């Protein structure tokens, strides 16, 4: 009988050791590996794909729900969530099941090792049941484009030139650290910036506040009708799309609900398309580290509308997915290292801080 190949992804060394030991003890299960975070998991999955993944939620570099969604989008695989956040009826549990998890196990905050040992039979049974699940049909859903939020650009509707300039940045996995490098390197006087960082709801306000405390420029979570002005960076709120709108020669943020685009909300493609329409050649588009292809189509629209476009290079990316896709589509005018992006922003508009 073929053994079920299992991967354990959890940042706790104790949990990894205990889970792997309990599962491996069953003759019907083979533990391929036990790793500390999703990025390490992705590296291992390049050579051998598991039949079942046992996945934590709170982990460094990428959270479990984001990883789950990417798995279900790219190669649907049975996933069992095992987390202290996954209480019955809790928001995290609902998000996990909606994203395609086949089962949810709640770990206690204390006495985890004893709990796992006591729950050995249930854990093994859950993994074996998960291996039989037909997750392909759970993962089949329309992958919306930016058309679901705003219509495509028709011609060059933006003013040919204005004194107001704007920079649009899109990033995902590894982006929180990358944005810190870029924004802390900018002088107090620089073009207005609009940013989409793939991040769960309720995390973006705290993230923006932290950046604001360490940057020369002002940083805040975007609110509807915020003016995009020099020396200010607006970060899209989690769970909402961020668009750039123009009134006369001035730019404003528009924060809207809407369907997932490229399985994300906020979506980089939505922001970039709105910048192409509203700012055209008065904009600079920057696509940075991240998994998937969100932003590639929008950056091409920006370039076709006359904007300058820059991508982070592979060597400095945590995940060279979004920039790579943009390069392959011909959307990128220039590729630079992470520590050179701030200089590109300054040089683009000859801003002196």
- What's the pLDDT tens digit per position in 204-235? 888 999 999 999 999 999 999 999 999 999 99
Catalytic residue among 26, 63, 185, 198: 198
Domain edges within the chain: 4-139, 146-349
**pLDDT for res 351:** 40
**Helices marked H in 196-284:** 204-214, 268-278
**pLDDT for res 350:** 53
**pLDDT for res 91:** 67
Reduced to 3 states (helix: H, G, I; strand: E, B; else coil), residue 43 is: helix
Task: Identify which has the larger pLDDT, 79 or 88.
Answer: 79
- The answer to whether residue 122 scores a pLDDT higher than 50 is yes
The whole-number average pLDDT for the span 273-288 is: 95
Catalytic status, residue 83:
no
Q: Please name the residues in contact with 100: beta carbons below 8 A apart, sequence gap of 6 or more.
A: 68, 69, 71, 72, 76, 79, 135, 138, 139
Which CATH number is correct for 146-349, 3.10.25.10, 3.40.50.300, 1.20.58.2030, 3.40.50.180?
A: 3.40.50.180
Domain 4-139 has CATH 3.40.50.2300: yes
**pLDDT for res 79:** 92
Tens digits of residue pLDDT in 315-352? 999 889 899 999 999 999 999 999 999 999 987 665 43
Catalytic residue among 185, 294, 313, 316: 294
pTM strictly above 0.85: no
Task: Identify which has the larger pLDDT, 146 or 26.
Answer: 26
Q: Tell me how crowded residue 73 is: count the other CB atoms within 10 A of its CB.
A: 17
The whole-number average pLDDT for the span 101-115 is: 76
Average pLDDT over the chain reads 87
Catalytic residue among 172, 267, 274, 278: 172
**pLDDT for res 89:** 45
- Is 4-139's fold the same as 146-349's? yes
Tens digits of residue pLDDT in 125-176? 889 988 888 776 454 445 677 777 777 876 555 555 555 789 999 998 888 8
How does strand 192-197 pair with strand 166-171?
parallel
């Amino acid at each position: 009988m073929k053994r079920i190949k299992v991967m354990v992804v959890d940042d706790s060394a104790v949990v990894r050791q205990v889970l792997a030991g309990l599962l491996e003890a069953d003759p019907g299960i083979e533990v391929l590996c036990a790793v500390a975070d999703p990025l390490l998991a992705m590296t291992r999955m390049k050579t051998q794909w598991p039949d079942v993944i046992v996945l934590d939620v709170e982990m460094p570099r990428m959270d479990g729900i984001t990883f789950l969604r990417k798995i279900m989008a790219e190669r649907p695989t049975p996933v069992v969530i095992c987390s202290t956040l996954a209480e019955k009826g809790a928001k995290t549990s609902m998000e996990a099941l909606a994203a395609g998890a086949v089962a949810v196990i709640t770990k206690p905050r204390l006495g985890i090792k004893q709990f796992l040992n006591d729950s050995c039979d249930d854990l093994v049974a859950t993994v074996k049941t998960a291996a039989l699940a037909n997750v392909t049909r759970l993962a089949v859903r329309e992958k919306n484009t930016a058309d679901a939020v705003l219509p495509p650009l028709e011609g060059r509707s933006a003013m040919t030139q204005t004194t107001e300039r704007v920079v649009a940045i899109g990033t995902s996995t590894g982006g929180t650290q990358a944005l810190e490098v870029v924004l802390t390197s900018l002088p107090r006087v620089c073009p207005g910036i609009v940013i989409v960082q793939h991040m769960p709801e309720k995390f973006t306000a705290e993230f923006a506040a932290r950046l604001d405390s360490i940057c020369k420029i002002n940083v805040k979570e975007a609110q509807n009708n915020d003016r995009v002005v020099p020396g200010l960076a607006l970060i899209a709120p989690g769970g909402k799309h961020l668009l750039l709108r123009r009134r006369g020669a001035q730019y404003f943020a528009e924060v809207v609900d809407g369907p997932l685009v490229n399985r994300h909300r906020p979506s980089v493609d939505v922001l970039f398309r709105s910048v192409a329409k509203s700012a055209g050649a008065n904009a600079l588009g920057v696509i940075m580290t991240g998994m998937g292809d969100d932003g590639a189509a929008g950056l091409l629209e920006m370039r076709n509308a006359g904007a300058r476009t820059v991508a982070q290079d592979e060597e400095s990316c945590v995940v060279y997915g979004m920039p790579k896709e943009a390069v392959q589509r011909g959307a990128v005018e220039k590729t630079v290292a992470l520590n050179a992006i701030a200089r590109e922003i300054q040089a683009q508009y000859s801003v002196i801080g």
